Amino acid sequence: MNITFLGTSSGVPTLTRNVSSLALKLSQKAEVWLFDCGEGTQHQLIKSTIKSSQIRKIFITHMHGDHIYGLPGLLATLGLSGNSKGIDIYGPSNLKNFISSALKNSYCKISYPLKFFEVENSAQTNTNLFEDELMEVRCASLKHRLPAFGYRVNEKDKPGQFNLEKAKKLNIPEGPIYGRLHSGQRVKLEDGRILNGSDFCGETKKGESFVYCTDTIFSERAVELSKNVDLLVHESTFSEKDEEMAFEKLHSTTTMAAKTALLSNAKKLVLTHISPRYTPKSVVKPIDLLNEAKQIFPNTFLAKDFLTTKIR
């Protein structure tokens, strides 16, 4: 899997950073999952290598405009293009009303299946928000000025390499049986032999994991959600020098993000949701934000729009 940052600014767009959005491209199927959808996200998609027709799920962290104002426009455009197979939208309980109202009052009719899923119960009960044979998604409540949620995506472990030579030596018929054995199933052949798929597969490949946390001040729930994650994307709106402002606005500093990564034993941290106050010409520059975090968690990187990085 890999992620592409479509917007990495906080609050308002700048010349170099759009407001929040991130695309997760799955490795085992041709799907894209979008996390947040600030104003202008569909323009960012056009400029990126992400195919909007592959978007199947959209996860919204909270109801602030810099995270949702691009969603009605994107949904409308996908309808006009006629190539969407349907989209599931996950977010706070009042998200459906916002989208429905925007589409209704702009006389827009969606021509594809659109389903809404409220995330509050999953966050409260610590149960999976979504699960299929390949993936599972959990969420957790964060600490912000309004209800906000972080998301974790876990790819399930994958079978090891299939031992084709062994299968041929045992005269196992080629075709669907190979696929069933590779998936670890127990198979009975026409000649009566019973085979265990595990006997034909190498070491299991551990699935990848990804966490997206914004907007929030330091939160123990974010630490729990991020335990042993391969990649943590965490908001870092402020420098540690502006910690007082961070507490006032309930956003994270660089050191809060790094502390979350350290305490959760994350493998890699990427900082996003950067305040527009930090520019290459300001007293505190974006590179300073990165260096602050790296003092606590060395394997830290600074996001920028259109940056693509692998989960592991």
Nearest 5°: CA angle at 66, between 127 and 280?
115
- 66 labelled catalytic: yes
The region that residue 11 occupies, defined by phi over 0 for left and psi between -120 and 50 for alpha, beta otherwise, is: left
Catalytic residue among 36, 66, 242, 305: 66
Q: Which amino acid is at 31?
A: E
Contacts of 213 (CB under 8 A, 6+ apart): 142, 150, 219, 222, 225, 226, 232, 233, 234, 235, 260
CB 72 within 8 A of CB 103: yes
Of 68, 8, 78, nearest in space to 44 by CA: 8
* SS3 of residue 75 by DSSP: helix
CB 311 within 8 A of CB 267: no
212 - beta bridge partners?
151, 233
Listing DSSP states for 101-164 in one string gives HHHHHTT----S-EEEEE-HHHHHHT--SEE-SSEEEEEEE--SSS--EEEEEEEPPB---B-H
Catalytic residues: 66
